[in-house]
Amino acid sequence: MEEQKDYQAGTFTINMVNSDFSGDDDIVVPVKTSDESIINRDTVLKPKDDEDNTSMLMTFHDSKPSVLVVVLTFVASISGFMFGYDTGYISSALVAIGTDFGKTLTYGEKELITSATSLGALISSIIAGLSADIVGRRPVIMSSNILFIVGSAIQCGAHSLWVMIGGRFVMGFGVGIGSLVAPLYISELAPTKYRGRLVIINCLAITGGQLIAYAIGAGLTQVNNGWRILVGLSIIPPLVQLVTFFFLPDTPRFLISKGKIDEAEKVLKKTYNSASDDLIKTKIEELNNLNKILPGNNPLQKTWNGIKEIHRVPSNFRGLIIACGLQGIQQFTGWNSLMYFSSTIFEAIGFQDSTAVSIIIAGTNFIFTIVAFFVIDRVGRRRILLIGIPGMIIMLVLCSISFHFIDITFSGSTAVIDNSDGSVSGWGIVVIVAMICFAASYAVGIGNVPWQQSELFPQSVRAVGASYATATNWAGSLVIASTFLTMLQNITPTGTFALFAAIGVVSLVFVIFCYPELSNLELEEVQQVLTGGFNIVASQKLAKAQRLSSKEIDVEKKSTGEAFIKV
């Protein structure tokens, strides 16, 4: 039942339609104000919950993200690039290192070098959320730059296995911090309508970084000690990010949590060009009130309370289940086994130029991340997962079947394949095609959607929630990196890919029942969706209503050529 209400917000009187998420049919519908001359039309105000008629959620409907938002997104995404480059170069470096450490590396040693970064990232992602709340998102990103630089330098000069592993471990600390804080930073700054896309810019930087690392790796295979150049180059981007961040601000949400209201106001003004001063003030008030929700006199107490809240408050806990669930799915469906070991796999199948084939896989991942960029806010996060995951399952089954006919056996540190005539069999080609299609299905959905994790949590527990989810990602990556080659040896490639496919089926069921549509919803608004259940149907309707309403605003903007009111 829709009920017209008058709401008082500052000097504005707004007529609103009440909202109710308890049933599947009721959704928030923004309506026009009674006084169109006062309220800026780039704003939508909605009641926060049913019992609380006075609290509002405010959405700025800017037609484009401001220059500052774009600059901040790109600079923050250098962390994504480092994540991609550092996890990407290892595939070709493992082949290129050859006997540079005085011996041929065994599969176990290759796994150690690879997984050291995941282990470092796992540890740092646990503490990065807490640090981001205490000292700020910006300084924490800057500290990751130092770790990247030190880690790269150690690896560049490594002449033994353990020094190399040490360097990868230190670098992993930087990767873990960057992987958590960069998307958090971006999603806190992004206007609602563009949040999905702006966070995907960071994902594009990850997949682009992996692709570039593969390409440079391929170019340097014949160069003596070429892998050291490959690693050394990774010192440049963190240096650039470190210097640039000296001149950039932290997020308004963090600044407000520290009581730096004036600074927050300045950033908000630059983030939302067309919002009036009064509206900025209302937004600050709203964020300030949300901050006070979490008890505690100092950041440590607040964090501890945040950890408790995330488990106790059902909507937070649902957010946590989704965030960790999606990150787990991303890792345990096996994509990174290709990322880290594709050269090794293709070498095993019998390809002469295995690194080139790996570039095609990384390139597909990058290109389909661009596709995700265009569809994530329009088609929606849930739908792209429901398209991508079934595609992945089919391709994994195909890989599993093909490997059965390829007949590879692993002995010690080498793979033996029955290709006496030196050519790649028809089934080998099927594996490649299936892996390319797998990469496409992965990149369009589960490769990116989990990194939208920050939107699942209210401000009070956002960093803690993002920590849990990022740690799940790196724990999964660590398990895959440290067991994949051993799994190939022990349960055969057929068994390994069948296992990934089975995990894919469970993942699909999880998404169908637990992941609501969150595109176009205000960060603070997602909590309403997660109250009382996963509310899949209600969320889809709400996301659709919000998309249509913001489209309507855009159309009106175009026709009148001016900023206008739509509440």
Q: Which residues bind ligand INS (CB under 6 A)?
A: 87, 203, 206-207, 210, 330, 336, 339, 365, 447, 451, 473, 477
* Smallest separation (angstroms) from ligand INS to the CB of 528: 28
454, 415 Cβ separation under 8 angstroms: no
Q: How far is the CB of 179 from ligand INS (least distance, A)?
A: 7
Residue ranges of alpha helices (H) inside 220-313 are: 226-232, 236-245, 252-257, 261-271, 277-292, 299-312
Task: Identify residue 367 by its one-letter amino acid code.
Answer: I
Task: Look at residues 337, 369, 385 and name the one whose alpha carbon lies nearest to residue 510.
Answer: 385
Q: Smallest distance from the beta carbon of 190 to ligand INS, in angstroms?
A: 18
Between CA 174 and CA 150 the distance in angstroms is 10
Q: How far is the CB of 261 from ligand INS (least distance, A)?
A: 35
Residue among 76 and 206 whose Cβ is closer to ligand INS? 206
CB 524 within 8 A of CB 28: no
Between 210 and 527, CB nearer to ligand INS: 210
The DSSP string of 291-316 is HHTS--SSHHHHHHHHHHHHHHSHHH
**b/e 530-550 (16+ beta carbons within 10 angstroms → b):** bbebbbbebbbbbbeebbebb
Q: Minimum distance between the CB of residue 332 and ligand INS, rounded to whole angstroms?
A: 11
CB of 61 to ligand INS, least distance (A): 29
Comparison of 192 and 477: residue with beta carbon closer to ligand INS: 477
> By C-alpha distance, which of 385, 380, 383 is closest to 546?
380
402 burial (CB, 10 Å; 0-12 / 13-18 / 19+) is buried
Between 42 and 86, CB nearer to ligand INS: 86
Core vs surface per residue 45-79: b (16+ CB within 10 A) or e: bbbbeeeeeebbbbbbbbeebbebbeebbbbbbbb
Nearer to ligand INS, 28 or 94 (CB): 94
Q: In this structure, are residues 342 and 358 in contact, taking their beta carbons and an 8 Å threshold?
A: yes
Nearer to ligand INS, 344 or 550 (CB): 344
DSSP string, 25-74: S--------S-TTTS-TTEEEEESSSS-SS-EEEEE--SS--HHHHHHHH
Q: Which is nearer to ligand INS, 329 or 565 (CB)?
A: 329
Q: How far is the CB of 82 from ligand INS (least distance, A)?
A: 13
Among residues 227 and 451, whose Cβ is nearest to ligand INS?
A: 451
Considering the complex, what minimum distance in angstroms separates the CB of residue 330 from ligand INS? 6
Measured from the CB of residue 484, what is the shortest distance to ligand INS in angstroms?
13
Q: Choose between 195 and 253: whose C-beta lies nearer to ligand INS.
A: 195
- The H-or-E segment that residue 414 falls in is strand 414-417
Residue with CB nearest ligand INS?
A: 447
